[in-house]
Amino acid sequence: MAKNEAPKTAISPTRNEDYPEWYQQVVRAADLAESSPVRGCMVIKPWGYAIWENIQRELDAMFKATGHKNAYFPLFIPKSFLEKEAEHVEGFAKECAVVTHHRLVAGPGGGLIPDPQARLEEPLIVRPTSETIIGAAFASWVQSYRDLPLLINQWANVVRWELRTRLFLRTTEFLWQEGHTAHATEAEAREETLRMLGVYATFAREFLAMPVLEGPKTASERFPGAVDTYAIEAMMQDRKALQAGTSHFLGQNFAKASGIRFQTKAETEEYAWTTSWGVSTRLVGGLIMTHSDDDGLVLPPRLAPAHVVILPVYRGDDTRAKVDEYIDGLAKELREQRFGERRVEVEVDRRDLRGGEKQWEWVKKGVPVRIEIGPRDVDGGVAMVSRRDRAPKDKASMARGELTARIAELLGDIQATLYARAIATRDANTHVIDDRADFDAFFGSKGDKEAQGGFALAHWSGDPEIEAAVKDAHKVTIRCIPTGGFEGAPWADALSGEGRCIFTGKPSPRRVVFAKSY
């Protein structure tokens, strides 16, 4: 390598050279997803879908542990349902896909056109979210206080028409879960809202290895029709924020629109108090941007489709049988071990490819542990082990028995290392700011790509006009009013306590988090 030549990486451009394009190349190199023939939509490929399945499985267990049941509701929503809640329809109107006909016929030029005789009496909206259609069901299910609380979740797809799309982060159709609950009292509904925010925060930290801040959103950032919206916010490696999950206290707004009423113990009639909460395939994008490097995807072991890949190294056909026999035995031993709630999942790659080509393919796919086995390893009863959280050429020989006994410990250490790195990145790029000039320099102007900033902890008076002006000047928003997720951070003590708004000098009850975001 020449003296000033940059080290070669598997992904080009690198994160520092072009972060958005680096992200696209990681998705492509790891074979996670690709754009579909339908503009703005994606095909999630097996490796990417396996990550989503693991996310789904773990979250589903957490939902059920908190008393929720799964159900499924229609893809199509009558337009009149959305119109019942004015603020809600206003918030989604520009994103809706609308079905107006139920049949196609041959057109004059030989193509297909909507049959004029098959026009629907009422247009149907392809669900952008399901508050209104689920509200109609709840209205028929809930009659008495004995029917409450009603705790429902659905795993589904939704459509929000997007002009600018990016795989996993923002697509016209995406996969998600949406929880919807109804309660007899405001206190119960608020408790549910915060409980589910806590579930998301725990999942982000323990499975995604993604540190998150928790807290309410400002009024301008609330879910349409909600009384309060709470979010978990994570910092990506380019120092932008990602809203990774939201939980909404809806008050009685949707209950009144949908007619969700119940008879109380005192035999009076009241409207239910409702909540909704959700996360989506955006979590896969967050995982990519939190941990991956210039050699490709890096997967936290608790969500990896495979924990280990074993790569045979043959030295002629005469060594193949003994290497294969050794690998089969090792793979069986590893699969008998447990990592958390899962058995250790092992891939054995016997494809007829060059060793280096196979190595780099699995590096780019982010498998936590790679194991090479050649004839000498068989003779010595050992294996060459590489960790994805370390340099690709960093390998160590381990005795077969030690590897089997310590595989769960090894995976746990990789998980912890990734989380610690992500915390270090976040904390190093989070700054307490008490001066408007420092704030302006931290974020730069809208077109300034050099001053990306990070998380700015600053006092704000609560004035929505100031919030809008900051967004216009810097393309920066208030991500949340943090109430959790900063314990132990070097800047934690600065968050609480009153101060003066850095924009107006007016009193401020506490600092908020400003950042550029996805």
The widest CA-to-CA distance across the chain, in whole angstroms, is 84
The yes-or-no verdict on residue 231 having pLDDT over 90 is yes
Tell me the Cα Rg of the chain.
Answer: 26
Q: How far apart are CA 289 and CA 155, in angstroms?
A: 24
Contact (CB, 8 A) for 442 and 451 = yes
The yes-or-no verdict on residue 248 having pLDDT over 60 is yes
Q: How far apart are CA 311 and CA 301, in angstroms?
A: 19
Contact (CB, 8 A) for 500 and 508 = yes
Q: Sketch the domain layout of the chain as residue ranges.
A: 19-92+128-227+246-291, 306-417, 428-516
The yes-or-no verdict on residue 450 having pLDDT over 80 is no
448 pLDDT tier (thresholds 50, 70, 90): low
Beta bridge partner(s), residue 106: 112
- DSSP run (H or E) holding 59: helix 46-65
| Mean pLDDT (the chain, rounded) | 95
92 pLDDT tier (thresholds 50, 70, 90): confident
- 76 phi and psi angles, rounded to 5 deg: -100, 140
What string of DSSP letters covers 166-230?
BTTTB-SEEEEEEEEEEESSHHHHHHHHHHHHHHHHHHHHHTS----EEEEPPGGGSPTT-SEEE
Q: Which of 288, 349, 360 is CA-nearest to residue 324? A: 349
The yes-or-no verdict on residue 86 having pLDDT over 80 is no
164 pLDDT tier (thresholds 50, 70, 90): confident
Q: Which of 366, 333, 310 is CA-nearest to residue 50? A: 366
Question: Average pLDDT, stretch 147-175?
Answer: 96
Q: How far apart are CA 447 and CA 278, in angstroms?
A: 32
The yes-or-no verdict on residue 215 having pLDDT over 60 is yes
409 pLDDT tier (thresholds 50, 70, 90): very high
Residue type at 257 in one-letter notation: A
Of 64-73, 139-148, 235-244, 352-361, which range is least confident?
352-361
Place of tokens 């090792």: 330
- Looking at residue 451, what is its pLDDT? 65
| Buried/exposed 126-157: b ≥16 CB within 10 Å, e otherwise | bbbbbbbbbbbbbbeebeebeebbbbbbbebe
Question: Average pLDDT, stretch 77-104?
Answer: 89
CA distances from 400 to 277, 330, 347, 385 (A): 46, 7, 17, 11
Q: Which CATH superfamily is domain 19-92+128-227+246-291 in?
A: Bira Bifunctional Protein; Domain 2 (3.30.930.10)
Question: Average pLDDT, stretch 217-234?
Answer: 96
Contact (CB, 8 A) for 367 and 309 = yes
Q: Using one digit for the tens of pLDDT, what is the confidence trace for 94-137?
A: 899 999 999 999 998 889 999 999 999 999 999 999 999 999 99
- Looking at residue 479, what is its pLDDT? 98
Of 60-74, 364-378, 440-454, which range is least confident?
440-454
| Buried/exposed 345-376: b ≥16 CB within 10 Å, e otherwise | bbbbeeeeeeeeebbbbbbbbbbbbbbbbbbe
Peptide bond into 216 cis (omega under 30): no
Beta bridge partner(s), residue 248: 229, 276
Give the 3-state secondary structure percentages of the chain, helix then strand then coil, rounded to 5. Answer: 35, 30, 35
What string of DSSP letters covers 403-469?
HHHHHHHHHHHHHHHHHHHHHHHHHHTEEE---HHHHHHHH--TT-SS----EEEEE----HHHHHH
- DSSP run (H or E) holding 255: helix 253-258
- Looking at residue 250, what is its pLDDT? 97
- Looking at residue 430, what is its pLDDT? 97
pTM over 0.85: yes
- DSSP run (H or E) holding 383: strand 382-387
| List of residues 6+ apart from 163 with CB closer than 8 A | none
- DSSP run (H or E) holding 401: helix 400-428
CA distances from 224 to 174, 444, 501 (A): 19, 30, 27
CA distances from 437 to 103, 132, 443 (A): 60, 45, 10
- Looking at residue 6, what is its pLDDT? 56
| List of residues 6+ apart from 259 with CB closer than 8 A | 135, 139
State whether CATH 3.30.110.30 applies to domain 428-516. yes
Q: Using one digit for the tens of pLDDT, what is the confidence trace for 271-322?
A: 999 999 999 999 999 999 999 999 999 999 999 999 999 999 998 888 999 9
Multiple choice CATH, 306-417, 1.10.3720.10, 3.40.50.800, 3.30.750.200, 3.30.70.260:
3.40.50.800
Q: Which of 322, 417, 304, 447 is CA-nearest to residue 374? A: 322
| List of residues 6+ apart from 194 with CB closer than 8 A | 230, 247
Q: Using one digit for the tens of pLDDT, what is the confidence trace for 25-65?
A: 999 999 999 999 999 999 999 999 999 999 999 999 999 99
What number of other Cβ atoms are within 10 A of residue 32's Cβ?
26
Question: Average pLDDT, stretch 392-403?
Answer: 97
- Looking at residue 452, what is its pLDDT? 72
The yes-or-no verdict on residue 449 having pLDDT over 70 is no
Q: How far apart are CA 324 and CA 14, in angstroms?
A: 37
- Looking at residue 1, what is its pLDDT? 44
